[in-house]
Every structure is written in structure tokens, then in C-alpha cells.
Amino acid sequence: MNKSLMAIIAVVVLGLVVLYASAFTVQETEQVVVVQFGKVVRKIEAPGLHFKLPFIQEAKRFEKRWLEWDGDASQITTADKRYIYIDVFARWRISDPLIFIETLRDEASAQSRLDDIIDNATRNVVANHALIEAIRTTNREFSAPEEEQLLTEQTEDLSNLVDDALAETKKLPKSLEDDKNAAVAEAAPGLPEQAIDVDVDSDTQADTDAEQEPEQAEPTGREEAAQNRKSSMPSPIRDKMQDLLPGGSSGTISVGREKLTEFILEKAQPKAFKLGIELKDMQFKRIDYIESVQAKVFERMISERQRVAEAFRSQGQGLSAQILGQLDRELRKIRSMAYKSAEMIKGEADGKAASIYAEAYNKDPEFYNFLKTLESYAKTVDGDSWLILTTQADFAHHLQNIQGGPN
């Protein structure tokens, strides 16, 4: 009884092992090739449960989905003698697993063969065309408004600041009231603030009145600058920008980027088809100059940008000099008016002082002469001075009349 049970168990286990070795499942994303002693027996693409001979046949699984190929960048010389690096990528799948397993065996081998196929096709196509053909897709030219936008967007904020500064210079006599008072105080120190009264020049007042008249339709600072911004833009910038734009001096294309990719696919697809591979799409991922050329290109780009920046900088320096010059003229005008008012105030003060002295003299001339003589004594005579005077000298008149007191 025990032997029969053991035999049954052994048969069941053996049957399970055979069933496990003969049954296999196929996923929706897979395709299977059944191989017997290295020879292809059949291929299975339908998903589900399938069977094979146990221990004799083997199921080789392959992807049914689209796979990615991304090769290394390769150095190519174009038809116009440009030395560049081109990096491309492609999409492929196993279209015929029977041919694929006979020629390549696995996906790693397929990736290696695709490196050679696509790289050779890319070299042959790109080397027979100019660099611009691999860069541009159409002959669309950049219109003038687009060029102006590229230039004006970079300087809009600066132009607005300059326009505001130019507009403010017309209001300098009002905005510099503190500087005017400081100039008057410096020219006439000691004067009370009520005495400082400088009138604005008639020409300046006329300009202010003209600005306030609603009938005048002349443009103000920002409007005038906005109208003249295009004409005032440095000509080197406009000229060089046309050359830097893709549609400037690079010429037109006859093939274009999309056509080049189609040519590469036409050359690579037949070779890949012989390996059981279908190439669906190929695109340029990166096109760049080689390192030695890149350095020269960057130097040229930097020099051109510096040239454009210098043009803007010189324009700004010219506007700055204009603003500072007008500011300096206004300050000199204010200081001149302040000095004039200070001298007038001083003259009026001297005249009033002289009238006061004259009035005091008319009231008591003898006492006035006495005070003036005492002031001269205090200025000329001190403890270390000796005076030799005659008895008839006017300077000693009051000294002779002094009565000596007791010692």
C-alpha cells in the first residue's frame, strides 16, 4: 500500500514538472519564438497560454513594442566644410522575430548593428549637404517687426528711464529749490531765510507756461523718444542683427532638416529590414560644432555681443552727457541768480547802514567824531605800540583834552 502511494505521488510530481516545463504564457507586449536544438520551430504572437515540448524546446521572448535607439555623437564634415558633431536617435521594433533570432539573437546585438547602420546612413546624407540644410526646415525669413522686437525688448526699460530723466530736466528750477537756497546761503552767509528770494528766469517761466498750455500738441519726453527710438538706434546694431538672424546671410535651403531625416531612413530601412527590424522614425537630437571650432564661434559671438553692447553703452553715455550738461547749466543759472540776489541784498544793507551812520552824525557830530576816534584808538594803539605825534595832529586832539586825574 505504501509503495503504491509513493508511486502515485511520484507520477503526479513528474507530471507537474513536465507540465511546468511544457506550458508558458505570452504577454500582450511580447512575441515568442520556439527553438528546438537551435532551430526555429514556430513563432507565437497571440497572448495567452501555450505549450511546447518539455526539455527539448525553448521559448525565446522578444519585445513587441517600439524600442529606443540612442547612439553616440559622431563627427561629420558637411559639404560646405563645416566640422560638426551630430547626435541622432531612432525608434525601432522587431518586425520578424524569425529573421531576428537567426541574424542577431538578442536586443544587445541589434543595438550594436543599428549603431553601424544608422551612423553610416547619417554620414552619407549629411556629408553631401550643407550645414544649413540640417538646421533649418523652411526658408521663412524674419520680418522687420520681429527684428525690431528683438532689439527693443532688451532696451525698453533703459529707454523709459532715460525718457523720464529727460522729462525731469525740464523741471529742474522747481525740483532743485533746495540747491537754489543752498547756493544763495553760500553766496550770502548770515542772511535770514526771508531775505532769500530768487525769481525764476523769464525764459524758464515761459517754457513752464508753454508746457501747461493745452493747445500745444508737441510730444513730451517719453512720447518723443518713442517716436525717435527706431531712428536713434545705433546703425551697427541693426546691420549686425540681420547677419546674426538665421534667415539673414545664411542663404536659402533646398532640402531641409525633415527631408534629411527621410533620406537617412530610406538608406537605413532596407538594411535593418534584412535583420528583421523595422525603423519607424529618426530625428536629430543635437547638432554642434567640434570643440576646436566651438571656441572660435564663441569668441566671435562674444565679440559681436560686446560690439552691440558698446553701441548701446555709447548711446547711453551720450544721453547721460546731455542730461548732465543741462543739469549743470541749470545749476549755474541758479547760482548766478542767487549770487545776484545776494549782492543786491548786500548793497541794500550797506545803503541802510550808511543812512543810519549819516543820521547819527547829523544828530551830534562832535559825539560821532569822538566815537570814531575811540574806535581808531582801539584798532591802532595797544600796550606795546609807541606813537610820536605833533601837538597839532587831529589824531591826538582828544588825548590832549583828557584831564589827568590823581595817581
Q: Are residues 189 and 228 in the same domain?
A: yes
Q: Are residues 336 and 234 in the same domain?
A: yes
pLDDT of residue 148: 55
Q: Are residues 180 and 198 in the same domain?
A: yes
pLDDT of residue 11: 78
Q: Is the pTM of this model over 0.85?
A: no
Domain final position from 63, 82, 100: 63
In angstroms, the CA 127 to CA 77 distance is: 6
* Per-residue pLDDT tens digits of the chain, which is 407 residues long: 577 778 788 877 888 887 778 888 888 889 998 888 878 888 888 888 888 888 888 888 899 999 999 988 889 999 988 899 999 999 999 999 889 988 888 889 999 999 999 999 999 999 999 988 988 888 877 554 554 565 566 556 556 666 666 666 555 554 445 555 554 455 444 444 444 444 434 444 444 444 444 444 444 444 554 455 444 444 444 444 444 443 344 458 888 899 999 999 999 999 999 999 999 899 999 998 888 888 888 898 899 889 888 988 898 898 899 899 999 999 999 999 999 999 999 999 999 988 887 887 787 777 777 777 777 777 777 777 777 777 677 666 666 665 544 44
Residues 6+ apart with CB under 8 A from 345: 188, 191, 195
Residues 6+ apart with CB under 8 A from 157: none
* Domain hosting residue 94, numbered range: 67-139+252-289
10 Å Cβ neighbour count for 251? 12
Q: Are residues 170 and 235 in the same domain?
A: yes
Q: What is the dihedral of CA 140, 143, 149, 152, to 10 degrees?
A: 130
Q: Are residues 150 and 213 in the same domain?
A: yes
Residues 6+ apart with CB under 8 A from 125: 260, 263, 264, 267
pLDDT of residue 345: 93
Q: Are residues 84 and 199 in the same domain?
A: no
Q: Are residues 319 and 207 in the same domain?
A: yes
What is the rounded radius of gyration, in angstroms, for the C-alpha atoms of the chain?
Answer: 51
Q: Are residues 328 and 197 in the same domain?
A: yes
In angstroms, the CA 77 to CA 128 distance is: 9
Q: What is the dihedral of CA 373, 374, 376, 378, to 10 degrees?
A: 170
Domain final position from 63, 93, 113: 63
Domain final position from 63, 81, 111: 63
Cell reading at 315: 548711446
10 Å Cβ neighbour count for 276? 20
Q: Decide if 164 is inside a domain.
A: yes
In angstroms, the CA 217 to CA 214 distance is: 7
Q: Decide if 296 is inside a domain.
A: no
Q: Are residues 329 and 232 in the same domain?
A: yes
Q: Are residues 13 and 74 in the same domain?
A: no
Tally of structural domains, the chain? 4
pLDDT of residue 374: 76
